[in-house]
Structure 1
């Protein structure tokens, strides 16, 4: 099987789409499956590989981690014909994704896609709700040609069904339980960040409006004084709101910028709670990473996050935007060490069932089904 993946974001970009695709292509390499990525050039340093074809690009104004590429179409067609894939997978609904659809039709190559980002949900956080109808019309039009559209969670599948999408199939997400685990040196993390307070609460993600970090700040400000005085917050990530958030944050909130690999895993492991107010996730990779690290999660009862957290077992789900509910949940768990420990144990146990290899094996089986059906139609 030879797979061409068209995406407007890829490693070294730091977001869920890029990380998932990098994990997938690593798996393909391990399985000796041939693939080629068509993706934008980025401003950060990127390794040179025969597996990647890069295009000039500019950042997308709502979501700078996704870039608008400007491909040379003749060059792209030549590259694709030379590669001769058995299947094209389109991962994003921008310029490169459009190229993938166009050439799948033109060259008669089986086409599938994946849906990663709730752009419609983002609109309310950028005062662009008036574009909602247009966005959904475009998304329906864009995804209609796909023989299968892979979505990361049951919640996202149901949302797209309500908007008339078809050929939907769940492509879940796994977690590296060898990297993310509860057994790192917690004292080392505390020493690295000068943490002297009893409890460590962590957020990981982009510092942008759609993550609803105003609710996180409001929660931190309204926690009871006797609880707040024992808490150190670590805010891990970067983005357009960082400067404003730092100016509004309480004294016990430290901003680290992006962390990755073992540096990130160590912080998850050392944390007593992971707090994630974002209501816009199609999945919520960071939530699963926290659970794998034995850290209970207090998250928004919305999007894919509600499919990961088992209420009262691995964490708590709160009404999106309701800082008081988040504060109450945090207070309850901070006061109850045994419950928090049990939730961490249950979270780790759940994460151990979420194997990337199993998830990717199922995706390749779905690819094979699409290719076989197309070939049967050709020669019928």
Structure 2
């Protein structure tokens, strides 16, 4: 089997889609499955390798972290004709994704796609709700030619069905429990960030409107004084809201910027709780990473996150936007060491059941089923 992957985001960009595709590429290599991946060129990425081809891109004005690629269709076509992939997997609906769709049809290569992001929900946060209907029309057209559209959660599947999509399959997400683990000392983290209070509350993710960070800041400000005096907040990530958030930050709040690898694991593992108010997640990779490090999650009961966090066992789920519920949940767990320890263990145990190996193995089986159906239709 030969796979061509088209995506408008890839490492070193930091988001759930780029990380998932990086892991997919690594898995394909481990299984000796040939692939080519077409992605945007970024400031810190190699231009291209034997398997990853990069194309010039420019930052979006409203969101510089996201980039608009300028793919060279003739170069991609020559590459595909030489590589002769059995299947094209399109991960994003923008310029590189459009190039994959166009060439897949031209060269009669079966196409599958994946849906990763609730863009229509993002529009509410950028004051563009009127664009929502046009966006859904476009996405419906874009995915219409796919043999299958893979979604990361049951919640995302139901959302697409509601908008008239068909041929949907769940391609869930896993976590590397060897890389993300609880075996780090909390004291090391406290020394690094000069934290002298007992508890660390952490958020990891983009610092952007769609992550409900207004809610996060209200939670921090409205914690009861008796709890607030005992906690320090670590805000991990970067994005268009960082400067404004830093201006309104409390004295017990540290912005760390992007973190990865061992450092990110140490932050998760050294934290008492992971706080995640976002309501727009199709899955929530960072939630699963935190749980793998033995850190329970307090999150909004929304999107794919509610399928990861078992309320009362691996964390607590709160009504979206209800600050009082979040502050009550934080207080409840920090005041009950026995329950907190129990949740630590349950979170880690759950994460151990979500291996990437089994998830990618199932994806390959789905690829094979799609290819078999394609061959039968042309027999």
With the length of structure 2 as denominator, give the TM-score of the two structures.
0.98
Which residue number corresponds to residue 228 of structure 1?
A: 228
- Counterpart CA distance in 2 for 1:241 and 1:219 is 17
1:60, CA displacement in angstroms? 3.3
1:325, CA displacement in angstroms? 1.1
CA 1:362–1:63: 2 relative to 1, 3 Å: farther
- Counterpart CA distance in 1 for 2:284 and 2:353 is 16
Does the 8 Å contact 2:197/2:230 carry over to 1? Answer: yes
Does the 8 Å contact 2:113/2:149 carry over to 1? Answer: yes
Which residue number corresponds to residue 358 of structure 1?
A: 358
Counterpart check, 1:219 vs 2:219: yes
1:242-269 residue CA offsets vs partner (Å, 9 max, x unmatched)? 0100111111010000000010001100
Which residues in structure 2 correspond to 1:21-40 (within 5 Å)?
21-40=21-40
**3-state DSSP class of the match of 1:320?**
coil
Does the 8 Å contact 1:15/1:65 carry over to 2? Answer: no
What is the aligned-residue RMSD (CA, Å)? 1.0
- Counterpart CA distance in 1 for 2:52 and 2:128 is 34
- Counterpart CA distance in 2 for 1:150 and 1:306 is 19
1:261-310 residue CA offsets vs partner (Å, 9 max, x unmatched)? 01000110010000001110110000000111110100011111111100
1:65, CA displacement in angstroms? 3.7
Which residues in structure 2 correspond to 1:306-345 (within 5 Å)?
306-345=306-345
1:70, CA displacement in angstroms? 1.1
**3-state DSSP class of the match of 2:235?**
strand
Does the 8 Å contact 1:291/1:297 carry over to 2? Answer: yes
Which residue number corresponds to residue 69 of structure 1?
A: 69
1:61, CA displacement in angstroms? 4.2
- Counterpart CA distance in 2 for 1:360 and 1:62 is 34
Q: Which runs of 5+ in 2 are unaligned?
A: none
1:342, CA displacement in angstroms? 0.6
Which residues in structure 2 correspond to 1:273-292 (within 5 Å)?
273-292=273-292
**3-state DSSP class of the match of 1:375?**
helix
Which residues in structure 2 correspond to 1:101-116 (within 5 Å)?
101-116=101-116
Which residue number corresponds to residue 193 of structure 1?
A: 193
**3-state DSSP class of the match of 1:25?**
helix
Counterpart check, 1:139 vs 2:143: no
- Counterpart CA distance in 1 for 2:183 and 2:296 is 15
Work out the number of aligned pairs and report it. Answer: 379
Which residue number corresponds to residue 268 of structure 1?
A: 268
1:171-219 residue CA offsets vs partner (Å, 9 max, x unmatched)? 0000010111111122111111111111010000000000011100000
**3-state DSSP class of the match of 1:304?**
helix
